[in-house]
Amino acid sequence: MKPSSWGQAASVYLDRRVLAILFLGFSEGLPLALTGSTLSIWLREGGVSKTAIGLFALVTMPYALKFVWAPLIDRLRLPVMTRLFGRRRGWALVAQAGLMAALIGLGSTNPVTDLWWTAMLAVVVAFFSASQDIVVDAYRVEVLEEHQQAAGAAILVLGYRFGMLAAGAGALYLAEFFGWHVAYYVMAGLVAVGMVTILLNREPKVADTAESKAREQHVADWLAARPHLTGWKADLLAWIYGAVVAPFVEFMTRPAWAAVLLFIACYKLGDVLAGVMSAPFYVDLGFEKTEIANVTKLFGLWATIIGGLIGGVLVGRIGVLRGLLVGGLMQMLSNLGYVMLAQVGHDVSALAVTVALENVCGGIATAAFVAYLSSLCNTAYTATQYALLSSFYKLGGDLFGASSGWLAERMDWSSFFLLSTGGAVPGLLVLMWLMTRPRREEAVVKV
Judge whether residue 7 has pLDDT over 80: no
Q: pLDDT for 180-192, tens place per residue? A: 899 999 999 999 9
Please give the Cα distance from 81 to 34 (Å, whole number). 28
Task: List b or e across 129-138, with b for residues whose CB sees 16 or more CB atoms inside 10 angstroms.
Answer: bbbbbbbbbb
Residue 62 has pLDDT above 90, yes or no: no
The pLDDT tens digits for 346-400 are 999 999 999 888 888 887 888 888 888 888 877 777 778 888 888 777 776 666 6
Taking alpha carbons only, the member of 106, 160, 98, 172 closest to residue 129 is 98
How far is the C-alpha of 25 from the C-alpha of 425, rounded, in Å?
29
One-letter amino acid identity for 419? L
Over residues 208-230, mean pLDDT: 57
Q: Is 227 exposed, middle or buried (0-12, 13-18, 19+ CB in 10 A)?
A: exposed
At residue 66, does pLDDT exceed 90? Answer: no
First vs last C-alpha separation in the chain = 15
Cα atoms found within 13 Å of the Cα of residue 67, Cβ hemisphere only: 18
Q: Whole-angstrom Cα distance, residue 193 to residue 81?
A: 19
pLDDT at 305: 78
**What pLDDT shows up at residue 24?**
92
Looking at per-residue confidence, does 223 or 243 come out higher? 243
Domains and CATH numbers, the chain: 12-200 (1.20.1250.20), 217-245 (no CATH), 254-442 (1.20.1250.20)
Contact 41, 135 (CB under 8 A): no
More confident residue, 30 or 207: 30
Residue range 227-247: mean pLDDT, rounded: 63
* pLDDT bracket for residue 440 (50, 70, 90): very low
pLDDT at 183: 93
Whole-angstrom distance, CA of residue 187 vs CA of residue 193: 11
Which pLDDT score is estimated for 447? 30
User: What is the average pLDDT score of the chain?
Assistant: 81
pLDDT at 315: 76
